[in-house]
Amino acid sequence: MIAFNDLRKVYVMGEERVAALDGVSLEIARGEYVAVVGPSGSGKSSLMNILGGLDRPTSGTYAFAGEDVGSFDDDQLAEFRRRRIGFVFQSFQLLPRLTALQNVELPMIYAGVAPGERRGRASAMLDRVGLGARMGHRPTQLSGGQQQRVAIARALANAPDLLLADEPTGALDTHTGQEVLALFRELNAEGLTLVVVTHDPDVAGEARRQVAFRDGHITHDERRAAP
């Protein structure tokens, strides 16, 4: 489903040119559960930004389900993110003024889903992540684990092809982190493609494929059998 070919991302910092990604080629099939690991500055964040359609590669191609995402303009990228990608961030990124339900509705608003249907889908999604009883709560009234589950419900709102998580348990304690990972496992079992960027070996261990980055290159790409 996803194909990177000789992807490069170069940042110009003053006089210096820094290659965050230096010729990365990678394929990810539908239904895979991939962990992207590596130290800070290895290029994994750049990869994730390009993968999620938040940034464009300097050179190389990025194909997603046959579409040449690398050549999209801003509006096409926005639509790509809306239809294809669900983001889960370390810091949850919930809008504090909105209730859990309204946060989950947000992506559907941009997708033009009618209010009635939107509400129904959002509450079903919150039920799915086990927060059916907390729909009217605001983020500040929820625990970290609950907030992250709201964020996952939001990421799933437009039925994406890919769930992209950046350190999803980084702000959670071990127990709630485990809950989130269990949820990921279920979602993957239902056929959702997941890419998780992480430092944490435990989180990476959940995935069936590990891709390691160092200095903008892939150093390691290992699949293992289902647990």
- Chain residues that interact with other proteins, rule: CB under 8 A: 49, 52, 54-55, 74-75, 78-79, 81-83, 87, 89, 93, 95, 97, 106-107, 109-112, 114, 154, 157-158
Least distance to other proteins from the beta carbon of 78, Å? 4
Least distance to other proteins from the beta carbon of 97, Å? 5
Least distance to other proteins from the beta carbon of 161, Å? 14
Provide the angle, in degrees to the nearest 10, between the axes of the packed helices 144-156 and 174-189: 20
Nearer to other proteins, 116 or 227 (CB): 116
Contact 156, 163 (CB under 8 A): yes
Which of 90, 101, 227 is closest to 164 using CA atoms? 90
Residues 155, 157, 158, 164, Cα dihedral to 10°: 10
Nearer to other proteins, 63 or 89 (CB): 89
Contacts of 75 by beta carbon, 8 Å cutoff, 6+ apart: none
How many Å is the Cα radius of gyration of the chain?
A: 18
Nearer to other proteins, 44 or 81 (CB): 81
Nearer to other proteins, 48 or 210 (CB): 48
Least distance to other proteins from the beta carbon of 80, Å? 9
